[in-house]
């Protein structure tokens, strides 16, 4: 049986998410695909969207649609009167208003997650949780931006849902806080309703919990939500951009709850994993990516997977625009700005050397284990500047400073910030050094 246009469009958006930005996808979610007497139509709600479809998206869409259903050769772009469109959407929403919304993104699955040394512990733990085992509760996945935390979280939720858990809820901590604040101000909705919404679930996945830092009342509410779920043996999964104990302004009792299960980190992927990610993404979109081009992209885009995807997208878009196959020359052109920006980036070594010179210590002392104040302080300054002026993660900076742990770097950044806040002479010196480094 052939698929419905609605399903085909869903599949198409799923495929396009590999090549288009999130903003593009949400624009396209407002478009409908229809079939009318053998003619395929893309129906836009407004003129600007219609012209974007024509100018920007159509070649991507036709290619993706053809892949899903080879009989779709051409798509006609049309406009529909907004009120008709709105009316249809509203009636659909009305019918669905009582249905539980999980907010899970079905594009993020375990089988399209590439694992390697940088993330395999987190991957294994997430799969274990997704299998329904309650060994790790809560599971906390932490690490820098664009490294796959949300992907693993959604994949875990999708797996739990497939096991038959109907009420698996994904929410960003920011949404939780905003929802809570709105409920506090809004007499129309009671606190009980708010609490029930987050507690009446089989599993709760809260993304980016660092956002709770400093939000005292939300934390209190979240503490009760957490306890209620935990006591009922519901799985809780959290992600965080740093080790949870390092979240500023987070109550001790929450830190201790967060640490009571398993915390696993994701770090920037190594070269082999980056290449594998590129190849897997390219394959999903039928984009022929020669090994040397994958190697070229992976060697130039090192910081995180989101940027890697962006780079692949630029190369792919250039191939489509100029109707050419991918080559190193084409990729280097497509990534010109990225590569230039990277060349301008300050290296950790430069920061270490300049800081050592400024504070009159040697490079050996900078990298040594010495705790003498006149050496430890410049070292902490150099660590803080490394975090501020480069894309390197805490673990990478720790490694570059004589193989130290990432928590030492986090501690250094905190100490330096405290001193900057209260010591004006220190601040002046720090800023002078920063100017020397950034030219």
Should residue 318 be labelled a site residue for ligand ADP when binding is judged by CB under 6 A?
A: no
Q: What are the phi and psi torsion angles at 116 (to 5°)? A: -165, 180
From 77-85, 149-157, 313-321, 392-400, span contacting ligand ADP (CB under 6 A): 149-157
Q: Which of 257, 284, 297, 433 is nearest to 358 (CA)?
A: 433
How many residues in the chain? 439
Should residue 119 be labelled a site residue for ligand ADP when binding is judged by CB under 6 A?
A: yes
Q: What are the phi and psi torsion angles at 260 (to 5°)? A: -85, -10
Strand 32-36 versus strand 39-44 pairing type = antiparallel
Should residue 298 be labelled a site residue for ligand ADP when binding is judged by CB under 6 A?
A: no
Q: Which is nearer to Mg ion, 149 or 215 (CB)?
A: 149
What DSSP designation does 6 have?
Answer: H
Q: Which is nearer to ligand ADP, 114 or 311 (CB)?
A: 114
Which chain residues interact with Mg ion by CB under 5 A?
Answer: 149-150
Should residue 146 be labelled a site residue for ligand ADP when binding is judged by CB under 6 A?
A: yes
**Token match 């806080």: residue?**
177
Q: In what order do the strands lie in the sheet with 39-44?
A: 32-36, 39-44, 75-79
Should residue 277 be labelled a site residue for ligand ADP when binding is judged by CB under 6 A?
A: yes
Burial (0-12, 13-18, 19+ Cβ within 10 Å), 70: exposed
Q: Which is nearer to ligand ADP, 105 or 197 (CB)?
A: 105
Q: How many CB atoms lie within 10 A of CB 358?
A: 17
From 7-15, 89-97, 217-225, 302-310, span contacting ligand ADP (CB under 6 A): 302-310
From 48-56, 111-119, 337-345, 393-401, span contacting ligand ADP (CB under 6 A): 111-119
Binding mask 227-266 for ligand ADP (x = CB under 6 A): ----------------------------------------
156 binds, among ligand ADP, Mg ion, none (CB under 5 to 8 A by kind): none
Residues 167-206 that bind ligand ADP (CB under 6 A): none
Should residue 20 be labelled a site residue for ligand ADP when binding is judged by CB under 6 A?
A: no
* C-alpha to C-alpha distance for 278 and 275, rounded to whole angstroms: 5
Closest residue by beta carbon to ligand ADP: 148
From 25-33, 88-96, 255-263, 304-312, span contacting ligand ADP (CB under 6 A): 304-312
* Helices of type H across 189-326: 191-199, 216-231, 252-258, 271-284, 291-300, 305-322
The answer to whether residues 261 and 136 touch, using CB atoms and an 8 Å cutoff, is yes
| Contact set with ligand ADP (CB under 6 A) | 108, 113-114, 119, 145-151, 277, 305-306, 309
């Amino acid at each position: 049986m052939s698929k419905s246009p609605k399903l085909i469009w869903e599949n198409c958006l799923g495929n396009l998410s590999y090549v288009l930005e999130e903003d593009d996808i949400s624009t396209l979610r407002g478009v409908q695909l229809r079939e009318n007497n053998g003619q395929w139509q893309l129906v836009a709600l407004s003129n600007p969207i219609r012209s974007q479809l024509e100018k920007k998206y159509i070649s991507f869409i036709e290619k993706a649609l053809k892949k899903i259903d080879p009989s779709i050769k051409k798509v006609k772009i049309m406009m529909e009167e907004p009120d008709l469109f709105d009316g249809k959407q509203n009636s659909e929403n009305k019918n669905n208003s009582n249905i539980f919304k999980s907010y899970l993104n079905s594009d993020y699955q375990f089988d399209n997650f590439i694992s390697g040394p940088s993330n395999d512990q987190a991957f294994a733990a997430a799969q274990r949780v997704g299998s329904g085992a309650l060994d790790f509760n809560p599971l906390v996945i932490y690490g820098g931006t664009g490294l796959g935390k949300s992907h693993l979280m959604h994949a875990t939720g999708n797996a739990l849902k497939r096991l038959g858990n109907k009420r698996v809820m994904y929410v960003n901590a920011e949404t939780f806080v905003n929802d809570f604040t709105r409920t506090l101000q809004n007499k129309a909705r009671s606190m009980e309703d708010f609490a029930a919404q987050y507690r009446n679930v089989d599993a709760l996945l809260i993304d980016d919990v660092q956002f709770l830092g400093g939000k005292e009342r939300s934390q209190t509410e979240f503490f009760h939500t957490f306890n209620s779920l935990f006591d009922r043996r519901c799985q809780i999964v959290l992600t965080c951009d740093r080790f949870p104990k390092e979240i500023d302004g987070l109550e001790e009792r929450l830190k201790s709850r967060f640490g009571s299960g398993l915390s696993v980190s994701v770090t920037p992927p190594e070269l082999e994993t980056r290449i594998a990610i590129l190849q897997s993404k390219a394959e999903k979109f039928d984009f022929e990516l020669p090994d040397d081009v994958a190697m070229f992209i992976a060697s130039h885009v090192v910081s995180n997977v989101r940027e890697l995807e962006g780079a692949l997208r630029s190369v792919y878009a250039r191939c489509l625009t100029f109707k050419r196959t991918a080559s190193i020359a084409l990729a280097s052109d497509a990534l010109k700005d990225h590569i230039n920006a990277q060349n301008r980036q300050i290296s950790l070594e430069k920061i270490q050397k300049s800081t050592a010179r400024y504070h009159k210590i040697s490079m050996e002392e900078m990298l040594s284990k010495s705790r003498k104040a006149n050496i430890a302080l410049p070292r902490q300054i150099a660590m803080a500047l490394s975090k501020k002026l480069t894309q390197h993660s805490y673990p990478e900076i720790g490694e570059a400073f004589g193989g130290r742990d990432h928590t030492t770097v986090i501690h250094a950044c905190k100490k330096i910030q405290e001193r900057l806040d209260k010591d004006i002479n220190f601040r002046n010196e720090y800023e002078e050094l920063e100017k020397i480094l950034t030219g």
